[in-house]
Structure 1
Amino acid sequence: MFSRRAALAALLALSACGGFPQPHRGNPGGLAGGLRIPLAVRLAIPPPPEALLTDDAALRYAEAVSEALQAVDVPATATATPLPLDWRLIITAQNTGAIVIPRYVITNADGQEQGAVAGPPVPARAWAEASTPTLQAVAQQASPRVTQMLLSVQAARASADPAAIQAGPPRLRLIPVRGAPGDGNMALTARLREFLGNRGYVVQDVADGASFAVTAEVSVVAAGPGLQRVEIQWIVSRRDGYELGRVLQLNEIPTGALSRAWGDIAYAAAEEAAGGVQTIIRNATSPG
């Protein structure tokens, strides 16, 4: 039986892009440590009038989101009267029948949208009942996504020129990875979101306002006795649907090595893929 360490070594040995880098072995989590919201005193969260909630529930939800963000050191406050320099978190919700999908949009003090992300779906009945524990639980689930979006905005603005800052950071829609065994789809998607955010992109789940899109297809097939061939294709396209390029990662691993948790393998693969995605977008947008 192959150990997990052996599986990791096998997958890191080779890729079509020149080999995965050694995986980070510290703690890649903890989003709040580097968070500084640029050009804003705080993040104001008005009670959402378009979130399919009563006025009372909307106020309680704004407060729940504010408390969840404050817990990770985001300077957020629930208020119906934002100050002139406040950034804003605008919350809406869509009822699809059985579930409700909350949506969170960050705008700067001038009202320009800086990023958007969808929250985890909520059973429609629970959303309509809007008990305080339910709203608090949904707010806790939304907090990491909103925080990551803020970090992405920060990274983008820190590296942008004044004209780019005024226009807003580049936004990219990340479509969830498909085809990976185990927790690969979720792990690869989450890790790529982090790395692209650190490279200056606002990564969002929705298409609105995005200039580029990234998705990935994972294929795992038998490659010989005791081996599987793993191929990851990261596909980059632009708004008009034109495919700009692909990042290909390819290797053979012990059979079943990725049937459960991907862990450091997802981290290493996404770190390399983020660099390839950035190169493709830069090549496509550079003059000449």
Structure 2
Amino acid sequence: MSVRRALLVSAVAAGLAGCHLPQPFRGEPGRMGAILSAPPPARLAVTVSPNALLDDHAASVWAHDTTDALLGQSIPAEIGAPHPGDWRLRLDARLAGGSVVPSYVVLTPTGAVKGHRDGAAVPAVAWSAGDAQVLHQVAEAAAPQIVTTLTGLRSAEMRADPNSLINRPARIFFSGVSGAPGDGNRALADELRLLLPDAKDQLVSSAAKADYAVSCTVSVAPATASPQGRVQKTEIVWRVKPASGVEAGAVTQLHDVPAGSLDHAWGDIALAVVTEAAPGIRTVIDNHSGRLLPPPPPDVASAAGPPGAGEPAVLAPDEEAPGVKKLNSDLSEPLAPFAAATRKTHKPADPGS
């Protein structure tokens, strides 16, 4: 971006309050702000090994407590047999002297072991009795460890893959704007092509070569009376989709504008709209791509090889998980469902601050 362009962006974002142009798209982004809405991620199916040293009732209590604890950590966990495409968490336990050591095995949808963690030992008497308080404490203590394993797997996979978005910029195909009155379709598209690209996100001309596709729709309602005069409710939605076609998120701008103010040339209004929207689009891509993940813990990093390396250990549905201490080196299956499970709401920072 040229110095002149950068100065213009700054001026429009911060200093047009005294101008005669309508000002709804700068600073505070409206009543609802800009909303990043992410669809529900894939499921983590929680099951208990028949060798977990618990009766059926206690095993059910442990599974429910663990699932609730994972939901509290924003992991989309559910009890029951896995559906096609589900990752799996196998709960197990083993005797160690007068204690029981609970363990947690992460498996891919095809049954490949990806990670294993042991919990803190508990008295064998309390465990075999199915003590509800002990099972609850075990589940609460395990949830953060399981999240660390899932996040570490994803982070290690991405760092080992030279084509991941940790190691290269995202390629974005922008299909344009539709529905805007006046010259809004062209004006908004021109501004986005100027303001969105940066060191992490680059525009490409081919949808087939893109990691993400961005589109924009504008809707303007008929004019209605308000204390400020006749206004039109305007909604601008920037949708972000990965190559899979499942929406990664959307940036929504909602505003009341003076009636007819968008019917002709948008000019600096388009610049203000995109100045507000572009950071939100980048945030959707950051959150979805996993490139903000922290480095994996040492045990995960040491086990990570290049994608596809090694042969996965596959468990039959009722087979007891082996007590492995390291993560399997095959990190080829996607781990993204658990990288950003939290539904996030984002309001762009005030450009004038």
- Give the TM-score range, shorter chain: 0.3 to 0.5
Query: Is the radius of gyration larger for structure 1 or structure 2?
Result: 2
Higher relative contact order (CA 8 A, sep 6+): 2
What's the TM-score, normalizing by structure 2? Answer: 0.36
Structure that is richer in helix per residue: 1
